[in-house]
């Protein structure tokens, strides 16, 4: 009788558990989370997505918004006015 490693619900934050080999598992993490058990919150601002001096603010589920300086617009402040 083999135990299913997913029976203990090891994946957090809505991650989906997938049994692999030899009693191991893999978590498929939702947007905004990473790690073996989806327990690490991803900060989307770590990638510096805002251009032209825009300031990045994390919002929800791995998303962000940019506060663009005067003269620029767009999701990543890449459109000149």
10 Å Cβ neighbour count for 81? 8
Say whether pTM exceeds 0.85.
no
Q: Which domains does the chain have, with CATH numbers?
A: 5-41 (2.10.25.10), 44-80 (2.10.25.10)
Task: Write the pLDDT tens digit of every residue in 66-80.
Answer: 999 999 999 999 999
Residues 6+ apart with CB under 8 A from 73: 79, 81
Task: Write the pLDDT tens digit of every residue in 33-73.
Answer: 999 999 998 899 999 999 999 999 999 877 899 999 999 99
Q: Are strands 55-58 and 25-28 parallel, antiparallel or unpaired?
A: unpaired
């Amino acid at each position: 009788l083999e135990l299913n490693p997913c029976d203990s619900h090891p994946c957090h934050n809505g991650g989906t558990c997938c049994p692999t080999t030899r009693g191991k598992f893999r978590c498929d993490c939702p947007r905004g989370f990473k790690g073996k058990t989806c327990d690490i919150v991803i900060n989307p601002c770590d990638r510096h997505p805002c251009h032209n001096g825009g300031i990045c603010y994390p919002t929800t589920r791995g998303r962000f918004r940019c506060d663009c300086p005067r003269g620029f617009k767009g999701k990543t402040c890449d459109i000149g006015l």
